[in-house]
Amino acid sequence: MPTLISKPWFADRPVMDRTRHIARVLAGHGLGAFLHQTGFEKFAPKSWWKKDGRALSQPERLRMALGELGATFTKLGQLMSTRGDMLPPEYLAELARLQDRAPLVPEAAILATIERELGAPANQVFGSFELEPLASASIGQVHAATLHDGSRVVVKVQRPGVAEEIERDLRILARITDWIERSTEYGADYDVWSLHSEFAHTIHGELDYIREGRNVDRMRRAFAGDPGIRIPVVYWPYTSHRVLTMERMEGIKITDLEALDEAGLSRREIAETAVRTFLRQILEFGYFHADPHPGNFFVEPDGTIALVDFGMVGRVSETTQDHLLRSGLAAMELDAEALTEQLYALGVAGRRADRRSFEKDVDHLISHYGGFSVGELSASAITAELSEIAFRHKLQLPSELALLLRVISMSEGMGLMLDPEFHYLEYASPIIKKHWKERTSLRSRLGQIGRSTAEAADFSLGLPRRTQRLLGRIERGEFELNVRHERLEEVTREFQRMTNRLSMAFVLAASVVAMAVAMGAQQDAEMRGFLRWVFLLSFVFTLGFGLWLLVSVWRAGRK
């Protein structure tokens, strides 16, 4: 994979050119305020400022600008559309509309990439290769082909130069992220650097087709015994970091409801299969398809669902699975206290959270749905309201949890699209309870106890050596203690103001005493009269300053 450029951003001509282009696009969409705040306005020609974007809302203009800026910013917008904890609903709705589309890559460039990556021209590697693409996205373009044995495949070819463009954009985004963290209230409320790191990791994964192929293989093995789901086969001899060859999945698009009805397929059964597929991924496998939009689903003649495009895969740890199961049960049982406890355990509420206020909002949410049966509850509505609570409290969800909430909402939406009478939680409830019983069964607990015992034994065996190393570092003076302070600058400024007031009070008091001594020691009547007036003025001034000092101290105490 490409690495970040080491020289300073302002010394890199491609980075500077790309920065100017970003500035022109943002200014052209009426986002000049952001340019001014980030210091990028100097890159935008004055002619671009004449465009009037007042007819569109700022979320709409942001969506249009990100779409125009290409792969990196389109993917960033799609990622942020999942962060209901960090953006208001109107931004989420607009960013969710971002379409990952791009102009067609010239045929010669596609053929050159295949030859460079696979070591031979396309007409030698494949039995046939269609130059007209099936789809064209910002990172890759998909073509139909056949192997020499007649197998029908799809070949995903990475767009030339997209990896280098993404690396430049990530570098520019790192500078913007640094500015947001240092200079804005938003940066103080949220860990924007962790979001940048997560985004960089995700988009690097989408650039590496070897990694995507491994995701496909892993998912296919997991669903090997499930007759309702089919995952394509990866043809590894025809796959590289920039070319991915997979079995072609054919069938009816899951959004083509009329075709499903004409084929005599039960939309209710298809909805149940799709939802069961997601629940198995989340609760059983510990990893899940993170981009489940309807275009990635095909329905075969026997009702089997074929799932494609595994560039984005989310992962759920065993501990998170456990807390998710408990959260699901608490939500279905309308237990606000238990749900709050599990949300804290999941890391929803960080160090900035006011637990009492947060729990009160969760209790209001539970009370609102208290009169509904499980069949009447909406998973999408509940997750949306939880995200709004997090946004209101300026909490930041763990990335895997934010992605998971999006997948839950999309899977429920797919079920309702197929069958408007489909009740997601009513169907999911027994599956969640079944997984919970399996996880808390005696056999499962014995396995957990065995693993914990082994880990405790390993820890005990290594403890003396670790303790000896730690004590040795302390004796040699190599042990360092790093303390992270918060708001220390404000305390320092207040302390400086206090000491300045005190110093001025001492100086003025000393001046008054000195004047009094001077007046008492002076024998000349004329000079004593002059000093009396100076002393009187000094006393009035000192009295006024003393009153001001008392008021300042009183106000500081009130704050």
- Which residues are identified as catalytic? 291
> What gap in Å lies between CA 223 and CA 43, rounded to an integer?
52
Give 262-328 as a DSSP string. HTT--HHHHHHHHHHHHHHIIIIISEEES---GGGEEE-TTSPEEE---S-EEE--HHHHHHHHHHH
Give the closest residue to 178 by CA, choosing from 202, 195, 201: 195
d(CA 186, CA 37): 13
Task: Say which amino acid occupies 309.
Answer: D
CA dist 148 and 291 (Å) reads: 32
CA distance 143 to 253: 18
Q: d(Cα 208, Cα 202) in Å, to the nearest integer?
A: 10
Conformational region of residue 309, where left means phi above 0, alpha means psi within -120 to 50, and beta covers everything else: left
**Environment class of residue 162 by beta-carbon count within 10 Å: exposed (0-12), middle (13-18) or buried (19+)?**
buried
Structure tokens at 163: 């990896």
Nearest to 114 by CA among 137, 141, 135: 141
CA gap 223, 239 in Å, rounded:
22
Residue 12 CB neighbour total at 10 angstroms: 16
**Hey, what's the torsion of the CAs at 337, 343, 348, 353, to 10 degrees?**
20
Residue 395 and residue 344: Cα distance in Å, rounded? 11
CA 484, CA 489: separation in Å to the nearest integer? 13
Amino acid at residue number 36: H
Asked if residues 242 and 252 have their Cβ atoms less than 8 Å apart, the reply is no
Task: Kindly write down the DSSP assignment for every residue of 199-256, as one continuous string.
Answer: HHHHHHHHH-HHHHHHHHHHHHHHTTT-TTEE-PPB-GGG--SSEEEEEPP-SEETT-
Reading the block at residue 47, the tokens are 């002619």
- Comparing CA positions, the residue from 206, 234, 201, 202 lying closest to residue 218 is 234
The two beta strands, 305-307 and 229-230, are parallel
- DSSP 8-state code for residue 480: -
CA separation for the pair 510, 523 (Å, rounded): 22
Angle value at C-alpha 38, between 33 and 44, nearest 5 degrees: 70
